[in-house]
Structure 1
């Protein structure tokens, strides 16, 4: 939750009028994370003091898998529950184990066509082979935009570039995409 990328993005979103709720799950287990995301979702929906709408869910690495799983779950319950999904550094496979990409991308591929998705990944991400990910996206019903951070690692760092310049570039991509979605 306190990754510099997530803090920077939350501040960039807030400075443009977006409410950004951040939380963390200590366990790496996907099922546990989806339950935690769901609990936060249920809490937000129970608030009677506020009307919560135009919700986008997202995460970084395993958090993006959990966000896709929750969005898929919620879309089965209501078509307008979630407006879109943002995946930073989607972990398509463990390093060197590209054979598990189908299982890891099941929820992402299962998102309905009305739910737009933004994926931000580095071209040097050892957990997201670019060609394999682009083939996975072709299998999706959703409209997907991929922003490939040139030279970016799984941690969205780029050798030879300042961290702040990379953060600014990623934040601009997310905010531009959200604006295109009418958020």
Structure 2
């Protein structure tokens, strides 16, 4: 489906089982230069659908327009909230979980409260630019005890790795960098029990 926003159109692919009412709605998005076909996003999507959820994979407006850089955070976040509002009309009364990888994880964290998300899944959260730990993005993460956040990062991620004080739960995949080449079964095994809280 296509969703019009103030930043331009977004494209959304929805996957779900035949259930009339999904257990939850998981909205996922990509990193700044990537797409929703990233292997970690696809692994999470397939797992969530198998558990009775509906998954909306969002290609954000700047990527639909062919740009690699997301631009201003305020513009990106406003468009994201418009996308979420449109999806909520389609899935009324269903618990919302939002997430993404890299830049998409940042968007999901920054907008979680305004979106009314029940949880956030942050894959490869870029804690800081490579080699610049002093430019931390720690303040974008939601504090423990607030909205549940699951962060999954590779142990060799040059963008840094949040610690348990930064988010509700952090899982580190050994041997992986910012873009995963392996470890997808481990990612799924970490996400599945975390999703259980929204499955009735």
Q: Same fold (TM over 0.5)?
A: yes
TM bucket (normalised to shorter chain) is: 0.7 to 0.9
Paired position in structure 2 for 1:108: 141
How far apart, in 1, do the equivalents of 2:41 and 2:54 lie? 14
Describe the superposition over 1:94-128 as per-residue Cα deviations: whole angstroms up to 9, x where unpaired: 11011110xx222214x583411100011110001
Greater relative contact order (Cα < 8 A, sep 6+): 2
Aligned equivalent of 1:125, options 152, 157, 163: 157
* Structure 1 unpaired stretches of 5+: 75-80, 158-162
**Structure 1 or 2: larger helix share?**
1
1:30-179 mapped onto 2 (5 Å cutoff):
30-47=73-90, 50-74=91-115, 81-101=116-136, 104-109=137-142, 111=143, 113-128=145-160, 130=161, 133-134=162-163, 137-138=164-165, 140=166, 144-157=168-181, 163=182, 166-179=183-196
Paired position in structure 2 for 1:160: none
Describe the superposition over 1:129-175 as per-residue Cα deviations: whole angstroms up to 9, x where unpaired: x4xx22xx42x5x6x11111011111123xxxxx3xx1111012111
- Displacement of 1:17 in angstroms is 1.1
The size of the alignment, in residue pairs, is: 156
SS at match of 1:87: strand
Structure 2-normalised TM-score? 0.71
**Structure 1 or 2: larger strand share?**
2
SS at match of 2:98: strand
**1:33–1:63 Cα contact (<8 Å) kept:** no
How far apart, in 1, do the equivalents of 2:157 and 2:146 lie? 28
* Structure 2 unpaired stretches of 5+: 1-35, 64-68
How far apart, in 2, do the equivalents of 1:89 and 1:46 lie? 29
Structure 1-normalised TM-score? 0.77
How far apart, in 1, do the equivalents of 2:74 and 2:132 lie? 21
